[in-house]
């Protein structure tokens, strides 16, 4: 596979992320976020079981000798969901997502420099540093855009960040969750080399589903509810709201295919570009039951800066 195809795959994974968020969010408003998370992992699990049964060419018996850290891909996914859900009410949506993306970019570049998680070492050079800086500028622009657009929708923008111990701890938490998100792809890619390209995502989703069930049971008991949603909550839902697992499966497969070719740092950056670009289209047309939002120059400039970062990082690897 060439670098161009790998960049397209990583960007496609980001586009799948952009589609997955409103899908799971829409279902979560009907049946609860913890139940929507279970539906997401269960859907992906079923599809991957079928895919492995029909097209799998790997060997799941190799799981007996796989290093323990390669089983943690599903854990990283759940960790990001929980960290974002915990921090958002305090930090606000814009700052939380900005911290996650900063963690993704930083973690991806560090992994590349040191060659951790069985990745090929890619030393930093001037172009890669400039590309990383352009990406960070783009993220800041997107943060400004979110603040301005939220005001334009008639709501209040996220409250100014106040420096106190609790807020700083939450900021550190979501930054670390972004780093874990960057670790997820090389973890899954290493597992692919041992058990197969479809079998590794299946392991990822199996671990994630088990953890989602644990979180769902605990959350339901805390609120005095049953794990299964009431029948009235299911009325009015549409089939597309249950397709989060399809996007999740695409995210994992595309990421593990592209990571060995372009490295973690560039993969994460392309993923963010696909996510932000897809989000712009969804917002502009009000797709998937989201409010229609007119794009502003800050967000367009932010996506452009991230695109420039991709070009610079790619040139630095040539």
Q: Which of 239, 181, 216, 191 is nearest to 43 (CA)?
A: 239
Confidence tier at 151 by pLDDT (50, 70, 90)? low
The end-to-end CA distance of the chain, in Å, is 15
User: Which domain does 103 fall in, by range?
Assistant: 3-128+160-228+240-263
Question: Does residue 300 sit within a domain?
Answer: no
Question: Does residue 200 sit within a domain?
Answer: yes
Question: Does residue 307 sit within a domain?
Answer: no
Is-contact 250 14, C-beta < 8 A? no
Question: Does residue 135 sit within a domain?
Answer: no
Q: Which of 34, 56, 43, 46 is nearest to 211 (CA)?
A: 34
Question: Does residue 288 sit within a domain?
Answer: no
Cα–Cα dist 262/311, whole Å: 12
pLDDT at 268 > cutoff 90:
no
**Total domains, the chain:** 1
Question: Does residue 42 sit within a domain?
Answer: yes
Question: Does residue 291 sit within a domain?
Answer: no
What is the predicted pLDDT for the residue at 306? 83
Select the more confidently predicted residue: 174 or 210.
Answer: 210
> What is the maximum alpha-carbon separation in the chain?
58
pLDDT tens digits, one per residue of 10-50:
999 989 988 888 888 888 888 888 898 899 999 999 999 99
Question: Does residue 233 sit within a domain?
Answer: no
Cα–Cα dist 176/255, whole Å: 20
pTM of the model: 0.83
To the nearest whole percent, how much of the chain has pLDDT over 90?
32
The residue whose two tokens read 């060439």 is 2
pLDDT tens digits, one per residue of 185-218:
899 989 999 999 999 999 999 999 999 999 999 9
């Amino acid at each position: 596979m060439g670098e161009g195809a790998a960049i397209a795959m990583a960007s496609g994974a980001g586009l799948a992320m952009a589609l997955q968020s409103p899908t799971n969010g829409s279902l979560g408003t009907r049946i609860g976020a913890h139940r929507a998370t279970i539906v997401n992992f269960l859907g992906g699990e079923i599809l991957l079981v079928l895919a492995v049964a029909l097209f799998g060419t790997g060997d799941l018996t190799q799981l007996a000798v796989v290093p323990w850290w390669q089983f943690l891909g599903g854990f990283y996914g759940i960790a990001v969901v929980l960290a974002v859900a915990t921090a958002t009410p305090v930090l606000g949506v814009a700052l939380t997502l900005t911290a996650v993306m900063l963690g993704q970019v930083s973690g991806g570049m560090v992994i590349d420099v040191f060659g951790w998680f069985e990745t090929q070492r890619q030393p930093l050079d001037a172009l890669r540093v400039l590309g990383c800086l352009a990406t960070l500028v783009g993220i800041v622009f997107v943060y400004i855009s979110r603040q301005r657009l939220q005001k334009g929708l008639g709501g209040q923008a996220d409250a100014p960040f106040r420096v106190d111990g609790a807020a700083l701890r939450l900021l550190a938490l979501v930054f670390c969750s972004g780093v874990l998100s960057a670790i997820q792809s090389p973890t899954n890619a290493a597992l692919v080399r041992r058990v197969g390209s479809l079998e590794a995502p299946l392991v990822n989703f199996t671990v994630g589903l088990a953890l989602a069930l644990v979180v769902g049971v605990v959350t339901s008991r805390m609120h005095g509810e049953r794990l299964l949603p009431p029948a009235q909550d299911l009325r009015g839902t549409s089939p597309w709201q249950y397709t989060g697992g399809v996007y999740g499966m695409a995210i994992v497969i595309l990421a593990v295919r592209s990571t060995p070719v372009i490295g973690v740092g560039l993969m994460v950056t392309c993923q963010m570009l696909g996510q932000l670009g897809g989000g712009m289209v969804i917002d502009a047309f009000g797709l998937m039951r989201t409010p229609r939002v007119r794009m502003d120059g800050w967000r367009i400039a932010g996506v452009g800066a991230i695109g420039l970062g991709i070009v610079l990082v790619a040139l630095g690897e040539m």
